[in-house]
Structure 1
Amino acid sequence: MTFFESNMFVVGIVTILAVISPGPDFAVIVRNGLRYGRKMGLATALGIAGGVVVHVTYTLLGLSYLVAEFSWILEAVRYIGAAYLIWLGVSAFIPSVKDEEIECNEEVAPVGFWSAFRNGFLCNALNPKTMMFFIALFTQVISPETSMMTKVGIGVYISLSHLVWFSFVVFVLTNPRTVQIFGQWRKAIENVVGCCLLGLGLKLALDA
């Protein structure tokens, strides 16, 4: 196996492990999938993939060097991301439009595509751990001789990996059988996810 092939293998394995590891992205997917349904869950997955594109873009432009050198940038993103996760966690305890529709038995417009997309996008783009993942990946695994086309291809692969995995999670969550089984526990699950988001946000804010 050549050095290039070995590095691409490492990128593939590390990416898969990073994507499927539970974290803020997974929590927000569960929250939106259960609360708003399949379409909005998929919109959230697309937003997460879009957030990955942001990380890929600044890494390719060399801005990751600035992030690594000037720690206050990472600190600012850390606190903004923590505040956003805390807000998402709190919102899980606020009755949704769908809840009111069920209770009142009236037709009410669900949350919009862009709102769900924004949830996923900001959750990923403002995650400093994702920033550090890209900085580590592109500085330790990708060599200076690696062509720009290859780097872009790796970025596309990572983004699509997020989209495919979280879309799969959404389909599982919104499967009719799954909905039927967990329907009566939906609110309890949302509250648990809300607590997880709150915990992640607080941990992110308090981490040294």
Structure 2
Amino acid sequence: MYWTEFLTVALVHLLAVASPGPDFAVVVRESVLRGQRSGSWTAIGVGGGILVHVAYSLLGIGLIVSQSIVLFNLFKWLAAGYLFYLGFQALRAKPVAVGDIPTSGSGAALSPRRAFTIGFVTNGLNPKATLFFLSLFTVVIDPHTPLAVQAGYGVYLAFATGFWFCLVAWLFSRERVRAGFTRMGHWFDRVTGAVLIGLGVRLAASEIA
């Protein structure tokens, strides 16, 4: 009965998650620099962050945030500040020789908790995601759809997001791909840092539509 609605939700989500943004940037960075293990846990963290957006969308809190300039700006500046922090950390990267870059799965990987936290916070504090899920749960999904079904959509969105970024982590942690990025040495990290800072600036300048 709800298959048409579910497929619509899945398609809209696919188009959104495939668009490069902060989530993509942090997963790629962790995968290239620290291997698939760290990249995958970061990806799982991004998927976990989706559940935060789903939860408050179901509770109606997302509507409150979208209508409150104060709350929206609070989330916006927290998220932008976190992206600035990650970006400036990356900009401080020192030159590393190709032979010094550890292979995937080595001890250089972050702890699962740390990698998960990076992904979770990056996604969970993104106010753009707040507006996306608010739109999804108020425009695309019929308000008469049972709450249990809507929650099921949310679980799928979290799983699909985590799965997608795990694929991204797998791709960018392949030795051949990593070797290609490694040849650029610390410049890759600095470019990634600039991208994260740029995303933070763009986010800080955003307003409620």
The two structures have a TM-score, normalised by structure 1, of 0.88
Contact 2:182 / 2:188 at 8 angstroms: preserved in 1? no
Q: Does the residue aligned with 2:45 lie in a helix, a strand or coil?
A: helix
1:88 aligns with 2:92: no
Contact 1:19 / 1:161 at 8 angstroms: preserved in 2? no
State how far apart, in whole Å, the 2-side matches of 1:168 and 1:38 are. 10
State how far apart, in whole Å, the 1-side matches of 2:182 and 2:25 are. 18
State how far apart, in whole Å, the 1-side matches of 2:185 and 2:42 are. 18
1:170 aligns with 2:153: no
State how far apart, in whole Å, the 2-side matches of 1:198 and 1:109 are. 25
Contact 2:35 / 2:109 at 8 angstroms: preserved in 1? no
The offset of 1:183, in angstroms, is 2.5
State how far apart, in whole Å, the 2-side matches of 1:48 and 1:163 are. 6
Q: Does the residue aligned with 2:144 lie in a helix, a strand or coil?
A: coil
Letter of the structure 2 residue corresponding to residue 84 of structure 1: Y
State how far apart, in whole Å, the 2-side matches of 1:189 and 1:109 are. 18
Letter of the structure 1 residue corresponding to residue 100 of structure 2: I
State how far apart, in whole Å, the 1-side matches of 2:89 and 2:179 are. 24
Letter of the structure 1 residue corresponding to residue 47 of structure 2: A
Letter of the structure 1 residue corresponding to residue 144 of structure 2: E
The offset of 1:94, in angstroms, is 2.9
Change (3 A) 1:150 1:112: same
Contact 1:34 / 1:190 at 8 angstroms: preserved in 2? no
Change (3 A) 1:146 1:61: same
Q: Where has structure 1 moved over 6 Å in runs of 4 or more?
A: none
1:158 aligns with 2:157: yes
Partner of 2:112: 113
Among 39, 46, 54, the residue aligned to 1:48:
46
Partner of 1:64: 62
The offset of 1:31, in angstroms, is 1.2
State how far apart, in whole Å, the 1-side matches of 2:180 and 2:134 are. 42
Gaps of 5+ in 2: none
Contact 2:80 / 2:204 at 8 angstroms: preserved in 1? yes
State how far apart, in whole Å, the 1-side matches of 2:171 and 2:108 are. 24
Gaps of 5+ in 1: none
State how far apart, in whole Å, the 1-side matches of 2:41 and 2:204 are. 27
Change (3 A) 1:182 1:70: closer
Letter of the structure 2 residue corresponding to residue 86 of structure 1: F
Pairing 1:8-19 to 2, within 5 Å after superposition: 8-19=6-17
The offset of 1:186, in angstroms, is 4.4
The offset of 1:116, in angstroms, is 1.1
Q: Deviations over 1:82-129 (max 9, x none)?
A: 010011111112348x98x938xxx97542221111110010001011
The two structures have a TM-score, normalised by structure 2, of 0.88
Partner of 2:186: 187
**Going by fraction, where is helix more abundant, 1 or 2?**
1
Change (3 A) 1:175 1:109: closer
Among 14, 18, 21, the residue aligned to 1:20:
18
Partner of 2:142: 143
